[in-house]
Structure 1
Amino acid sequence: MSNWQLFAAFVPILSPMILLAGLRIKAAKAMPLSLLLSAVSAYFVWQMAIMEMAASVLEGWVIALSILWIIFGALFLLNSLKQSGALDVIRHAFFTLSEDARVQMILIAWLFGSFLEGASGFGTPAAICAPLLVSLGFSPLAAVTLALIANSTAVSFGALGTPVLVGLAQGLNLDDENQLQSIALHAIGIDILIASALPLLLCVILTRFFGDKPSWRAGFAMTPFALLSGLAFTLPAYLVAWLFGPEFPSFVGALFGLLLVKEMIDRRIALPRQTWRLNSNPSAPASNVSFGPLRAWSPYLLLVGLLVVSRLSALPFKGWLQSMVLQFENLLGTAIDAKIAPLYLPGTLFFLAALSCHYFHQSRWRQTSAALQISLKTLIPSIVSLGTAVPMVRIFLNSGYNHSGMESMPIALAHWAGMQFSDVWLALAPFVGATGSFIAGSATFSNMMFSGFQQSLAFKSELPQEVVLALQMLGANAGNMICVVNVVAAASVVNLAGQEGRIIRFTLLPMLGYCLLASSVAFILYL
């Protein structure tokens, strides 16, 4: 690979980072420019065919439409809860459980978000948890940042194990079916030493950067409670992975964690004496509606139930929903296809949960109409960002369709990195996984794209394959913190469009730290 080709392959990775985080350009301007730079590089340097580039843009629009539908569903559910007054009841319930913002953040971003990730994936946790945090007094920037950082560990086994059962399984040449479980156990075994400290990191970020009086001490005061909250998820998740495989660790681990942490709060186990509040709010917000917490939470409970039954392979609903597909084959006469299963997307389930407010909360149709209009208006700024970000990604991934005889850009970059750094690959393996998620917007796709390469390099470098592939999984998790698609989606839900660069600047260091710690722990444990 020549220097020009190496530069061209880096353009789709570096341009969003430089424009968003470095130059602080809004995503609505940065992503069209990144798309243009990537297209020019792909055409002139990689010699990608025009038709394949155009087909990649069309494919990107189909995928972007599915993401926008998820965002719209989350917005519609949030605004329906606001219109019915249920959001005030939910806020009151959280304040009644604990007035400490650090505790509220652990419950919502870390545990409830992990539960949603285990059930659904597809960016659901940040889309649901960030607005909940905002309703409790968190600033939109704090809410999105914390929700994105928290939505990392559970991604290993998100959407009932999809990153393993689909991502790794399709990307690897496996001699033994039990190898998948071995890789998963290595990943979560390493992660116990990293992810268990993540709630503490979230507390420190919250108190230092988003408090009325910035303080490191207030964050570290949560050390015992935060570490126990981390272990309340990671240890049950490991046990479930060991006993049952990769489908349910995140889902069941987070559920157990929620129950254990609630019990800790009720008994005031390991909680600091001093309550830490946001916006100097000393008391629970008032609620003026007549129904209680159970009815207020009913749309969320319905949503979780729908997510679970629609994702379980043992039930007929998953196959039925996935069979309803809009298929676009051989776009513009190329080998590129695009498809969307609208009924299977979480956005459809969000929409149904939002409509259920009419029944559970006795909402009037004018309130539903108002929620619909507000949601559509809020969605508009994301259309340009996602409508250019996703096509850029598809050009990057489809760049193997070219006249130069080169492999696709991500694979060529991976091979180049492998040749240059094979002697220290254990330190770099997580960063390849993170790059895959950052670009593709999916840990599943990152595992699918790079696991075969990681396996081959581990063999050539005489490194334990299960460990290297576990690091690929963990890096793919960490990449979700800075993934442009996730950042744009989460920012849209809390009306923070245009602030994507600020969000990435907050999430970039935790992502890098996560990857670095993963490789360090692997080195200590296995070499």
Structure 2
Amino acid sequence: MSTGALSFLAIIPIITVLFFLVFLRWPAKKAMPIAFLVTVLVAYFVWEVPVNQIAGASLQGITTALEVLFIVFGAILMLNTLKESGAIQTIRQGFTDISPDRRIQAIIICWLFGSFIEGASGWGTPAAIIAPLLVAVGFPAMGAVMVALIIQSAPVSFGAVGTPILIGVQSGLAGSSAVEETAASIGMTLDQYVRMIGGEVAIFHGIVGLFIPLFMVTMLTFFFGENRSIKEGLAVWKFALFAGLSFTIPFTLVANLLGPEFPAMFGGLIGLAIVVPAAKKGLFMPKKDWDFAASSTWDPAWTGNLKIEPAQTLQPVSPVKAWIPYIIVGVLLVITRLESLPFGAWLKAFVIKAEKVFGSSISIESTPLFLPGFILLIVSVLSAFLYKMNRSTYGRAWKESGKTILAASPALLFSVPMVQVFINSDANNGGFESMPLVLAESVSGLAGSNWPAVAPAIGALGAFVAGSNTISNMMFSLFQFGTAQNVGINPSIVVALQAVGGAAGNMICVHNVVAASAAAGLIGKEGELIRKTFIPTVYYVFFAGGAGYIFIHGLGFNIGTVMAAIIAVLFLYACYQGQLQNKAEQQFYKWNRSA
């Protein structure tokens, strides 16, 4: 079979997902069973994957889906515990005290607090925690999920204490003599070479991710504002860039000076320490606050079933006491992820494991106590004692959380097995590479020396399919390295571009969207969300590709310079429009004061 024909067949599962979920806008619980069935048929009849391999991959997918559901349940239970105790009202008021402007709240909560959570835990946990928190603050559920997914980009390459680099890239490159020879030629071991790649990843994220806060608020005002205005988002361009730099500068420095373990965590914490006091002092802040229209006027599609009503019968909770559960979560996530401490090993000691499932090459392993969901569950129980909640009040938190998880389960229990069958199609009787590798090799044949411009898109494709930057890096790092060597360009930069694209793909991967939507009580709108988050994903891989091309080939009249110039022009135009909006708002503000 020709490479073109095989590539066409390999992309059918992805086209199926896009067709039903994005174009027809079916809910994931209906679209993903069809996508799973199509993937199984292609794997069995074209790749000739044995039935036991398909069954093993499917069971592995179900196991992963249950792990994701556990994390989401923990996040929702935490929020419902805070809601029932009255603590969420204090948190809501705290963010309002910093600024009632929803754009500023989104940047602080998502970009900075969310990046810290990403650095500590990964696993899509930030979106699962941040989305319901934004709903509690007063965001429409769909808007909350959208902005929570958008920040699943820059910090993701260093999520879970650097796992996508230290496990994903390193596992993907390990065992290759070409990689070891390249590392040795510059006086490095494989581990040192991977850490150098991690530093390059941070530099690309520092350049591209700088504009994510501005992207986020502009999409928020355009899709969910009363006036559907891009300019209202651009009006906070100074604050958005300030917040971007407050994260990306320490993020990049930490990655290059300390390694891949802490960039997202330290970037988020340092950013919070800089941006929150600045916001309280009014630095770079707009004159006019921006808010959503009255919730009674919202499009019904924007709202979910997560209701955050004031707990009138309970005593007010102090700000410090209200934030204690999230502080404990952050601390526990960090200390259980540090290999220098024993706590993670203790939690990993309890392992559920099955070797060569159904006689296939697939083994399944789960460490449920090490999952962020377990920590969230424990902190929820501690919070019930902290807030002196009675049994019936705390029971309501469990009941509401259980209902949300049951609604989200069907989509995840089909989407993740579909992914595993797709990835594990390398064990076949047809003599073919796995479906994702066939697709990647087909694209590399078309791109040639322009490969740096395309490399991030391959990483994003891997994350979209696999739902993980780590797995995308495992699948494609060696392929990216070999392709770079074949066309005579720096392989470390190309592998770095793979990791950057893999992070960007998290914004649109199906199970992240399903999990974040479920946490916010929004079910059945997954396709609509992917249509929205596809916009910043395209920006990310496009800009990263252009920057990567320039890093390798230098400035000049080439495709990389053209790509970067397009982004520069759009950015300058956006700042100009934002400044015009600022002037208009300032004049309106002065007119109101004089009146």
TM-score range normalised by the length of the shorter chain: over 0.9
> Secondary structure of 2:429's match?
coil
Identical-pair percentage: 41
Confirm or deny that 1:218 pairs with 2:232.
yes
Q: Supply the distance in 2 between the matched residues of 1:96 and 1:263 (Cα, whole angstroms).
A: 12
Q: Which residue of 2 aligns with 1:134?
A: 135
Q: Which residue of 1 aligns with 2:388?
A: 362
Q: Matches of residues 43-82 of structure 1 in structure 2 within 5 Å?
A: 43-82=44-83
Q: Which residue of 2 aligns with 1:332?
A: 358
Q: Which residue of 2 aligns with 1:11?
A: 12
> Secondary structure of 1:197's match?
helix
> What's the offset of the Cα at 1:524?
2.5
Q: Which residue of 2 aligns with 1:274?
A: 288
Q: Which amino acid aligns with 2:430?
A: S
- Alpha-carbon contact 1:322-1:343 (below 8 Å) kept: yes
Q: Which amino acid aligns with 2:321?
A: R
- Alpha-carbon contact 1:298-1:360 (below 8 Å) kept: no
Q: Which residue of 2 aligns with 1:468?
A: 494
- Alpha-carbon contact 1:8-1:46 (below 8 Å) kept: no
Q: Which residue of 1 aligns with 2:561?
A: none
Larger mean CA deviation between 251-260 and 421-430 belongs to 421-430
Larger mean CA deviation between 285-294 and 243-252 belongs to 285-294
Larger mean CA deviation between 414-423 and 240-249 belongs to 414-423
- Alpha-carbon contact 1:89-1:287 (below 8 Å) kept: no
Q: Which amino acid aligns with 1:258?
A: L
- Alpha-carbon contact 1:299-1:360 (below 8 Å) kept: no
Q: Which amino acid aligns with 2:397?
A: A
Q: Which amino acid aligns with 1:421?
A: A
Q: Which residue of 1 aligns with 2:145?
A: 144
Q: Which residue of 2 aligns with 1:199?
A: 213
Q: Which amino acid aligns with 2:390?
A: R
Q: Which residue of 2 aligns with 1:83?
A: 84
> What's the offset of the Cα at 1:6?
2.0
> Secondary structure of 2:397's match?
helix
> Secondary structure of 2:321's match?
helix
> Secondary structure of 2:293's match?
coil
> What's the offset of the Cα at 1:421?
2.0
> What's the offset of the Cα at 1:279?
3.0
Q: Which residue of 2 aligns with 1:42?
A: 43
Equivalent of residue 539 in structure 2, options 503, 508, 513: 513
Equivalent of residue 228 in structure 1, options 242, 246, 256: 242
Listed one character per residue, the Cα deviations across residues 369-401 of structure 1 (whole Å, up to 9, x for unaligned) are: 111111111111221111111111111111112
TM-score (norm 2): 0.86
Confirm or deny that 1:159 pairs with 2:160.
yes
Q: Which residue of 1 aligns with 2:120?
A: 119
> What's the offset of the Cα at 1:215?
1.5
Q: Supply the distance in 2 between the matched residues of 1:133 and 1:162 (Cα, whole angstroms).
A: 27
Q: Which residue of 2 aligns with 1:392?
A: 418
Equivalent of residue 422 in structure 1, options 435, 445, 448: 448
Larger mean CA deviation between 325-334 and 26-35 belongs to 325-334
Listed one character per residue, the Cα deviations across residues 172-221 of structure 1 (whole Å, up to 9, x for unaligned) are: 13432322232122222122221111101111111111112221221111
> What's the offset of the Cα at 1:286?
7.7
Tell me the C-alpha RMSD between the 2 structures.
Answer: 1.4
> What's the offset of the Cα at 1:431?
0.6
- Alpha-carbon contact 1:110-1:151 (below 8 Å) kept: no
**Residue ranges of structure 2 left out of the alignment (5+ in a row):** 174-178, 296-308, 554-595
**Which structure's CA Rg is the greater one?**
2
Q: Which amino acid aligns with 1:261?
A: V
Listed one character per residue, the Cα deviations across residues 316-348 of structure 1 (whole Å, up to 9, x for unaligned) are: 011121121100111111121111101000111
Q: Matches of residues 396-475 of structure 1 in structure 2 within 5 Å?
A: 396-475=422-501
Q: Which residue of 1 aligns with 2:341?
A: 315
> What's the offset of the Cα at 1:290?
2.4
Q: Which residue of 2 aligns with 1:181?
A: 195
> What's the offset of the Cα at 1:489?
0.3
Q: Supply the distance in 2 between the matched residues of 1:68 and 1:374 (Cα, whole angstroms).
A: 15
> Secondary structure of 1:135's match?
helix
- Alpha-carbon contact 1:393-1:440 (below 8 Å) kept: yes
> What's the offset of the Cα at 1:367?
1.4
Q: Supply the distance in 1 between the matched residues of 2:205 and 2:267 (Cα, whole angstroms).
A: 13
- Alpha-carbon contact 1:109-1:151 (below 8 Å) kept: no
Q: Supply the distance in 1 between the matched residues of 2:254 and 2:291 (Cα, whole angstroms).
A: 35
Q: Supply the distance in 2 between the matched residues of 1:8 and 1:75 (Cα, whole angstroms).
A: 39
Report how many residues are paired.
Answer: 524
Q: Supply the distance in 2 between the matched residues of 1:413 and 1:502 (Cα, whole angstroms).
A: 26
TM-score (norm 1): 0.97
Larger mean CA deviation between 77-86 and 477-486 belongs to 77-86
> What's the offset of the Cα at 1:268?
1.0
> Secondary structure of 1:405's match?
coil
